[in-house]
Structure 1
Amino acid sequence: MVDLGRAAARGTAFTLGAQGGRFVLQIGSLVVLARLLSPEAFGLVAMATSVLGVAELVRDFGLSSAAIQAKELTNPERTNLFWVNVAIGTTCALVALVGARPIAALYGDPRVAGVVLALAGLLVVSGVTTQFRAELSRDLRFVALGVVELSAQAAGVAVAITAAALGAGYWSIVLQQGTVVLTTCVLCVVFCAWRPGLPSRSTSVRRFVRFGSHVLGTQVLGYATNNVDNVGIGAVWGAGPLGVYSRAYQLLMVPINQINDPMSRVVLPVLSRVQDDLPTLQRYVEKAQRVGTYGLGPAFGVAAGLAAPLVAVLFGPQWTAVVPVFVVLAVGGVFRGVGLVTYWGFLARGRADRQLRMYLLTRPLMIGMILGGLPWGPVGVAVGHSAAFAAYWVVSLVSMGRATGLDAGRLLRQALVALVALTLPLGLLAHLGTWLVDGAVLQLVVGGVLALGWVGLLLAVLPSQRAELAAARGLLRRERVSRA
């Protein structure tokens, strides 16, 4: 019998370690490419990827989540799921090829068509990868998944920086994305012992398609919410302002993706195995939420407070327009960081249908809030974005609790205590440091010291916060003990 707690500990420890390396690579890529490329270059690629991302979700069709969540999965079912993903990926690639010119016409920039054509073929490669990656997750092969993620990211960064230095312009970003997708596919196939055979007509995958369709609907609505800002800014304001916004948004999403994506691969298979034991599931979900409440939340609080010197050091003085956009987005990032727990809760209990129903009600309202800021440019869109995600966090927690039987009130109280006691003071103290001294580097140091001082004070005077912070480190500690 697999010790799920230990498996989660081992998986989380290695995954977060690998993601630490990936975080360094992505930040390094942001820093170097920001000095080699113009905002317009980033904006052009963002125009294409904002639309193509929908095809990427359709290509998956929620079947990776369906395979991971399933209690039982036979080899014929795996094989049929593989071929379904390949077929959908190929179809999406063909649609993207046909739609390249209309997408470019949406933005009024013919260069976008070339980017779409270059990226379309990657949808087929991703279709091949889907079930290999899902199989690694089902087998709790978190070390292999971490190696795949880190290696693919390193290869992509190396290719992008080299191409940009040679004068490839925005094509260097296209090459980066292609390298990541191809490397991921090759390594997933190498690490996975399973191999697909020929499709079997006698084996039905209807239950996976049904579950996956609910996941797909949820993901498409979520993607629309996360990317309608890029489409709106690109269509109304052009590539330059979109490049500024996309750099701020990328700076926001790097830490979110470093935690949320790999944590989903670790947490979802574990939660799915205890989905019928509600007390155990509640306990595991609370542990998972602490990664956001005592990790991402405080990080974004500090980042918002130190936005001006942070952008100056990372991107240089020519990117000062990023600062106000990033400050506002970082506030919303706090709620996005703690909000992924609702996604895990719905899927672990097999209630993707209820999650889709909630999305159908909430996501159009969120999209309206985001687009409502368009007249005020990137900053106005960022305000709408953060307000929408703050409201969604509360609504989704309540909805998830009703659909799954989990105690949403406990989760909400746990998160609010951390936000009030930790995240908000950290952000204010970090910003105070920027007023006390001059010079971007010195401001980062002083702001960081003040924030760390608050953490130390909190640990000294509040036993409850010591316990919460200890619990947040619990998975990593268990891993170290298990190796001893």
Structure 2
Amino acid sequence: MVGLGKIAARGAGITLMSQVIRFALQLGSLTVLARLLSPHDFGVVAMVTAITNVMEIVRDFGLSSAAVQAKRLNDAERTNLFWVNTGIGTACAVAAALGAPLVVRIYGTSVVGPIVLALAWLFIVSGINTQFRAELSRSLRFKALAVTDIAAQAGSIAAAISLAAVGAGYWAIVGQQITLVLLTCISNIVLCNWRPGRPRRSVSIRRFFRFGGGVLGTQLIGYATNNLDNVAIGVHSGSGPLGLYSRAYQLLMVPLTQVNDPMTRVVLPVLSRVQDDGETYARYLRKAQLLGCYVLASVFAVAAGVSVPLVTLLFGPQWSGVAPIFAALAIGGIFRGIGQISYWMYLSRGRAGAQLKLYLIARPVMIVIMIAGLPWGPVGVAVGHSIGFFLYWIVSLWAAGRAVGTSTRPLFVQAIRTLLVISVPAGAIAYLGAMLVSPVPASLVLGVALSVGYLALVSRLSPPERANLHFMIEVFLRRRRMPEATAQHAPAAPEPAVVVERD
């Protein structure tokens, strides 16, 4: 019998390595496309997706998370969920197409209309894909998910670069999104062993809607927090400044999504299975937070310190306006990285409703803080973004602990210690190193090298930091066996799979 801890470690190892590949692909595409396209090209697509992508959240309706989190799920329930997601996706596609004139009116430019129509039908494809991907995640088939992500990412990037090279302009970015959605859906269907049958009225999926409704509300509010800044900048300043902001924001999201999204696929099923074992659950939470503390927080701190040479090297001197925006956003990225743990806590214990209540109060405040920076342009909005996420990290972790009945004091202590000892000093040293020399490559290399040297020195002098670093290396690179869960939580076969009820 394979222990759940070992499966989690193996899944984390597979997922991390796949994300390293995806990170390289995305960073390469950012670099190449920035030299083939203009800020206007990126900005005009960002105008559209900032509004229409809300349909992507509605299309899911929280049902993918509900399927993964459920302790039991039979074939008939999964089939009904498939048809519901497909139906919602179709409705979203129609709504998006009919809303094209409204998007044109909001921004005052007709160029966005055809882009809305070109992307609208993808919501149908995503609706079809929802439960196939949820089944792969629920069955802990991390290798299949990694193959899908890498293949789809590589194919979409190749399509975008090819279109940009022949002068397609912003249609290259549209083509990238279309290719990504299609390849992801096809790959998930091929790799998933499950196939839907005919919908059955006698089988109720009401319990999934109760859970999914809370997730949907939470995600909608979260989406507003993450995208109203784009809409505000687009309306206030136009596609050019929004293009700069969107490049900085995407550079922020590359490491964030490459770590948080796949780790959610690993951590959420594992935490959901040990949710009734308080001691094991708390131990796994501390282990899971290490990733955000030691990887994301440090990466964003160092990236903020070397933002000027980093942006110049990746995008070229014509994109220099991105550097101060990215530096401000990266500081907030530190708290977005370590704050993911509260999201996992809510969903793994089935407390999506409690998370929604928090979002209803906290997220509007965050939006106000972000928009308050609009008079100072994209940089002001980015500063508001970081202030908002810092405050939200504190409130959300405290509230999550109360909601799921778990002490968050160890998590706060772990995070604060890491920030003060590891991340903030590493970022400051990277900034000083980048200021010492003027050539861009040398400035970037020196800043990063000095920060890495500091991290190595701390890990050598501090036993707790050395132990944590060794744990990270062994789990995520050598796939070390994590502390085992109790036997009742372990899957019943070497190939990780959830026991499925069949009619």
TM-score range, shorter chain: over 0.9
> Offset of 1:475 from its aligned partner?
2.0
Kept in 2, the 8 Å contact 1:65–1:212? The answer is yes
1:59 maps to a residue whose letter is R
> Offset of 1:2 from its aligned partner?
4.3
Partner of 2:488: none
Kept in 1, the 8 Å contact 2:233–2:374? The answer is yes
- Alpha-carbon distance in structure 2 between the residues aligned to 1:472 and 1:352: 29
- Alpha-carbon distance in structure 1 between the residues aligned to 2:119 and 2:2: 41
Partner of 1:99: 99
Kept in 2, the 8 Å contact 1:9–1:478? The answer is no
Kept in 1, the 8 Å contact 2:9–2:481? The answer is no
CA deviation profile, 1:358-396 (whole Å, cap 9, x unmatched): 111101100111111111110010011000000000000
Partner of 2:179: 179
- Alpha-carbon distance in structure 1 between the residues aligned to 2:129 and 2:196: 12
* TM-score (structure 2 length as normaliser): 0.95
Partner of 1:55: 55
- Alpha-carbon distance in structure 2 between the residues aligned to 1:389 and 1:43: 24
Q: How does 1:6-85 map to 2 (within 5 A)?
A: 6-85=6-85
CA deviation profile, 1:1-22 (whole Å, cap 9, x unmatched): 5411111111110111111110
> Offset of 1:154 from its aligned partner?
0.1
2:195 maps to a residue whose letter is R
Aligned to 2:99, what secondary structure does the other structure show? helix
The count of residues paired between Structure 1 and Structure 2 equals: 483
Q: Does 1:112 align with 2:147?
A: no
Moved over 4 A (4+): 480-483
Partner of 2:407: 407
Partner of 2:354: 354
Q: Does 1:467 align with 2:467?
A: yes
Kept in 1, the 8 Å contact 2:311–2:323? The answer is yes
Partner of 2:501: none
CA deviation profile, 1:450-482 (whole Å, cap 9, x unmatched): 111111210121111111222323422562679
Partner of 1:296: 296
CA deviation profile, 1:162-198 (whole Å, cap 9, x unmatched): 0000000000000000000000000000000100011
> Offset of 1:256 from its aligned partner?
0.2
Q: Does 1:369 align with 2:369?
A: yes
Partner of 1:143: 143
Kept in 2, the 8 Å contact 1:6–1:478? The answer is no
RMSD of aligned C-alpha atoms? 1.2
2:282 maps to a residue whose letter is Q
Partner of 1:211: 211
Kept in 2, the 8 Å contact 1:77–1:205? The answer is yes
- Alpha-carbon distance in structure 2 between the residues aligned to 1:104 and 1:457: 55
CA deviation profile, 1:87-126 (whole Å, cap 9, x unmatched): 0000000000000110121011111111110000000000
CA deviation profile, 1:8-53 (whole Å, cap 9, x unmatched): 1111101111111100110010000000000000000001111111
Partner of 1:155: 155
- Alpha-carbon distance in structure 1 between the residues aligned to 2:9 and 2:382: 36
Q: How does 1:62-461 map to 2 (within 5 A)?
A: 62-461=62-461
- Alpha-carbon distance in structure 2 between the residues aligned to 1:285 and 1:472: 14
Partner of 2:500: none
Kept in 1, the 8 Å contact 2:43–2:241? The answer is yes
- Alpha-carbon distance in structure 2 between the residues aligned to 1:100 and 1:8: 44
Using the aligned pairs only, state the percent identity: 57
Kept in 1, the 8 Å contact 2:100–2:117? The answer is yes
Higher relative contact order, chain-length normalized (CA < 8 Å, sep 6+): 2
- Alpha-carbon distance in structure 2 between the residues aligned to 1:442 and 1:57: 43
Kept in 1, the 8 Å contact 2:22–2:150? The answer is yes
Aligned to 1:109, what secondary structure does the other structure show? coil
* TM-score (structure 1 length as normaliser): 0.98
Structure 1: stretches of 5+ with no match in the other structure: none
Kept in 1, the 8 Å contact 2:19–2:258? The answer is yes
More helix by share: 1
2:188 maps to a residue whose letter is C
